[in-house]
Structure 1
Amino acid sequence: MTAAQADLAGPPDKSRSAAADEAGVRLDTPRIEDGAAIWRIARDSGSLDLNSSYSYLLWCRDFADTSAVARDSDGAPVGFVTGYIRPVRPETLVVWQIAVDAAFRGRGLAGALLDGLTERALQDRGIRGLETTITPDNSASDQLFRSYARRHGAAVDRDVLFRGEHFPDGHEPELLYRIGPLAG
């Protein structure tokens, strides 16, 4: 998994809910009918590993409570973050993918999605940490998650999770980012 190109613009002290408000979007829980739009945003990101359209529909059904979507003024998805609770570590939220529609990038929306999702997961699930994987060449995602850690006063530990030879298709290695502890 790689995270989508981050939209890192905006003052570092700007609150993420203000970033969503200024972008004219609201954060919400995804619904099954959002699956097609989320698939298109992932496809158009240019940096995500695209999963089948079917998988995004399942994600919106089975992992909606650990995912988030940004909606424009018409209610259409313009960004998303998908995640799940790690079964062997129920205090850990794993962020699978994050992407923002090209027309909404540069407004801090990726950070707002991460903040909104983890705030909900802290309250509803009692998470204490976040994990994600990023390929070594994805500097935008590296910046996004390091910025997230700074905002939350959390440490970032990195290690190789999957080496390139683990993948059957010549995929780059995936670096595991562990961020925490998160304060509730």
Structure 2
Amino acid sequence: MRRGWFVALLCALVMLAVVAGVALSRLKKPGTPQGADTVVTTVTTAPSASTAPEPDVTTSRPKSVTTRKVTATGSTTTPTGSAPDGPAISYFRVTGKPSCPSGTNQVQYEGDPVVLEWKVTGAEKTTLSVDGPGIYAEYGTKDSATLTFSCGGDPGSYQVHTYLLTAIGPDGTTTKKLTVKAKVNEITTV
């Protein structure tokens, strides 16, 4: 009975020591130069036939793969991944759906404008073009625009407008197109 209690206490102390060691290893060590770059590289290896695989605690990773993290400091270390050159568009989307005018010839309801929003990285500015070439306006890298959505055509058909976002940066440009449509409503004569 005493031995079981002692083993449980010993296991708890070992776990506490491991947690404390991990926490301390994440702290900056004294003597590390100010502004030193830290690069974390993930090394994935398959176990050799002569060694048994380590126990896997993550259910989303195959049991035959072991992952170790290696941390290096110093300004001569380069990251293993490569960043994309030039601007990148994180998102360009419709946040306010447009609608066409409706009602009667006596009481008419205005349609709703289209609201667009976007976020880009690696750019200095963005421009927006509507239905073809030519710049409608210049914007920031994380911005939005509320634009009138003009409608025409036969009732029941759809009015379509195309919006082109261009991200402009020192390393080039990137574009993304959105096509937005709204149903043309019948204006009833009373």
Answer whether TM exceeds 0.5 for this pair. Answer: no
Determine which structure has more spread, i.e. the larger CA radius of gyration. 2
Shorter-chain TM range is under 0.3
> Given the two structures, how large is their TM-score scaled by the length of structure 2?
0.22
Report the structure, 1 or 2, having the larger helix content.
1
Higher relative contact order (CA 8 A, sep 6+): 1
> Given the two structures, how large is their TM-score scaled by the length of structure 1?
0.22
